[in-house]
Amino acid sequence: MKLSELKIISRKLAKMAVFAIVVMIAVVFPANGQSEGQWGISASGAYSMPIGSLSDWFNPAGNYSVAIGQQSNQNWFIEGLVEYSKFDSENLSGYPSGKVDLSLEHIAFWASGRFWLGSESAIRPYFHLAGGVLYWKGVRGEIPADDTISPALPFIPKRTLEEWNWGARTGVGVQLLFGNSLALDAMLNYRFIVGELWPTLQPPIELDGVSGLQTLNFALGLRYFLK
């Protein structure tokens, strides 16, 4: 059997194992459901992938958040959430690669809602919607002069852009409930932050600007429901 065939079989077996574990969780830990008015606290980490023109600046990075919320009624879980993210691994190509220091970070304060889909069960999907205010800061480091190229590159000073603005998130997720106190949460969401990163058009840098800071985020977290 070829190595490539073994890899395909191992991936299929891994997927089957994950599915079996999820089914076992649903059987062993029957869901009691969250009662109306019940509070929950959570912490999560995310793989945040720049999309659109932001992907020409940065590689994916980590994203972290904590939240507290309440089951407001049968359909909605409402929470307040604090989120932090920082991109500092540039994704430039050509001459600027490795010569331009870039970073983008933000702290966000979201009002978030989860609308449960389907009836109460140990495995429960939901629709996610959030909006809020953010402080973000983008830095393009100074670029030293280079007279070994033609045309020569002059010294370009550091530029920092920072402001308070607003943003929004939307996505879907699934909650795996262990009893009635602990849940594992997985979510995929799209995030948009109002903001612009200014271009540096001096040849051979030629770094285009970014209008609207967009990312696709896959998050995993734990939520504890207070009794």
Domain assignments of the chain as residue spans, ordered by start: 31-225
The sign of the CA dihedral 92, 95, 97, 100 is negative
CATH of domain 31-225: 2.40.160.20
Of 88, 80, 36, 41, the C-alpha closest to 221 is 41
Between 213 and 25, name the one with better pLDDT: 213
Of 205, 210, 212, the C-alpha closest to 101 is 205
Cα separation, 46 vs 64, whole angstroms: 6
Phi/psi of residue 70, nearest 5 degrees: -145, 145
Kindly report the CA angle at 120 between 117 and 123, in degrees rounded to 5?
75
Report residue 126 as tokens. 């939901």
Question: In Å, how far are 20, 41, 88, 106, 201 from 65, measured between CA atoms?
Answer: 29, 11, 18, 12, 35
| Coarse DSSP helix, strand, coil percentages of the chain, rounded to the nearest 5 percent | 15, 55, 30
Specify the pTM.
0.81
DSSP state of 96: T
- pLDDT (0 to 100) of residue 222: 97
Residue 74 has pLDDT above 60, yes or no: yes
% pLDDT > 90, the chain: 73
- pLDDT (0 to 100) of residue 11: 57
Highest-confidence segment of 117-121, 145-149, 216-220: 216-220
Q: From the centroid of its chain, how far is CA 154?
A: 37
Cα separation, 141 vs 163, whole angstroms: 18
Per-residue confidence band for 33, with pLDDT thresholds at 50, 70 and 90 = low
What pLDDT, in 10s, does the model give residues 125-140?
999 999 999 999 999 9
- pLDDT (0 to 100) of residue 179: 82
What pLDDT, in 10s, does the model give residues 126-184?
999 999 999 999 999 999 999 999 889 999 999 999 999 999 999 999 999 998 789 99
Per-residue confidence band for 17, with pLDDT thresholds at 50, 70 and 90 = very low
Residue 71 has pLDDT above 60, yes or no: yes
Per-residue confidence band for 20, with pLDDT thresholds at 50, 70 and 90 = very low
Per-residue confidence band for 28, with pLDDT thresholds at 50, 70 and 90 = very low
Residue 18 has pLDDT above 60, yes or no: no
Rg (CA), the chain: 22
Of 8, 75, 82, the C-alpha closest to 43 is 82
Do 40 and 226 form a contact (C-beta atoms < 8 A)?
Answer: yes
**DSSP of 100-156, one letter per residue?**
--EEEEEEEEEEEEEEE-SSS-SEEEEEEEEEEEEEEEEEE--B--B-SSSSPBPPB
